[in-house]
Amino acid sequence: EAQLVEFGGGLVHPGGSLRLSCAASGFTFSSDWMNWARQAPGKGLEWVASINQDGSARYYADSVKGRFTISRDNAKNSLYLQMNSLRAEDTAVYYCARSRNNANDYWGQGTLVTVSP
Amino acid sequence: TVLTQSPGTLSLSPGDRATLSCRASQSLSSSYLAWYQQKPGQAPRLLIYGTSSRATGIPDRFSGSGSGTDFTLTIARLEPEDFAVYYCQQRGGSFGGGTKVEMK
């Protein structure tokens, strides 16, 4: 069965940077689109970014465009999210998810990012 | 495309039928609409993809329907474990604001 595990979250100051990782197992990672989504405390889900199988196509929510970069390493079965110029409103649990049939069928457990002075 | 879910909260009892709405700001292919369930402290779980196809392991009391701009998730008879927040999503991208199904 597919498994996704995120790590790399933590406390960062406004304006700082953080890199999240997502380790994939149990499926052929290089065959699937992958996504990042987030959820601020007490709020709903927000799509953040998507990347295609070979990394040649990447899409971002307007709220993170120009600050966040999604990438992947198929040899390491890993997905990444480089987050720069972090703001308080980026505080959230960040999830990685596999995309199939235009839906996210497997999700990680999430990693918490807190942006605070 | 903006997705608007209604109602914001649904207060029902076990055994009731739940009808949740998701309206898109522009017409969507039926292939692009999915529904998720989320319980406190847990990651979302895929229920329905392609408007009406149940994900693996999802009970048949969950069903999806709709076309164009109006989509519906129906839970035929609520079980205690169904009280949760439900989100629609378009094409693996933007989500609706969610509907909380709470116990009356």
Residue A15 has a pLDDT of 98
**Sign of the alpha-carbon dihedral angle for B12, B23, B42, B62:** positive
User: Read out DSSP for A15-72?
Assistant: T--EEEEEEEESS-GGGSEEEEEEE-TTS-EEEEEEE-TTSS-EEE-TTTTTTEEEEE
Chain B residue with minimum CA distance to A6: B43
Residue B15 has a pLDDT of 97
Angstroms from B95 CA to nearest CA on chain A: 6
Residue B68 has a pLDDT of 96
Sequence length of chain A is 117
Residue A11 has a pLDDT of 98
Q: What angle do CA B3, A95, B28 make, to 5 degrees?
A: 25
User: Read out DSSP for B9-28?
Assistant: EEEE-TT--EEEEEEEEEEE
CB B53 within 8 Å of CB B46: no
| Residue A80 vs residues A24, A68, A71, A109: alpha-carbon distances, Å | 11, 10, 5, 15
Nearest CB neighbour to B32, from listed A45, A102, A108: A102
**Beta-carbon separation of B43 and A103 below 8 A:** no
Chain B positions in Cβ-Cβ contact with residue A110 (cut-off 8 Å): 43
Chain A positions in Cβ-Cβ contact with residue B36 (cut-off 8 Å): 45, 104
CB A12 within 8 Å of CB A113: yes
Q: How far apart are CA B82 and CA B14, in angstroms?
A: 9
CB A89 within 8 Å of CB A75: no
Query: To which residue do tokens 């700001």 refer?
Result: B25
Query: To which residue do tokens 């609409």 refer?
Result: B33
Residues near A40 by beta carbon (within 8 Å), at least 6 away in sequence: A46, A89, A91, A92
Q: Which residue numbers of B have CB closer than 8 Å to A's CBs?
A: 31-32, 34, 36, 38, 43-46, 49-50, 53, 55-56, 85, 87, 89, 91-98
B92 pLDDT more than 90: no
Q: Which of B31, B49, B86 to mutate to test the interface with A (most CBs of A within 10 A)?
A: B49
Q: How much is the average pLDDT of B71-90?
A: 98
The identity of residue A49, as a single letter, is: A
**Beta-carbon separation of B95 and A110 below 8 A:** no
Residue A59 has a pLDDT of 97
Under the banding of pLDDT at 50, 70 and 90, the label for residue B10 is very high
pLDDT tens sequence for chain A (117 residues): 999 999 999 999 999 999 999 999 999 999 999 999 999 999 999 999 999 999 999 999 999 999 999 999 999 999 999 999 999 999 999 999 999 999 999 999 999 999 999
Question: At B40, phi and psi to the nearest 5?
Answer: -55, 130
Q: How much is the average pLDDT of B62-78?
A: 97
Q: Reply yes or no: is the peptide bond before residue B7 cis, omega within 30 of 0.
A: yes
Residue A44 has a pLDDT of 97
CB B12 within 8 Å of CB B104: yes
Greater confidence (B5 vs B93) lies with B5
B93 pLDDT more than 90: no
pLDDT averaged over every residue in chain B? 97
Angstroms from A40 CA to nearest CA on chain B: 12
Residue A102 has a pLDDT of 93
| pLDDT more than 90, % of chain B | 96
B25: left (phi over 0), alpha (psi -120 to 50) or beta: alpha
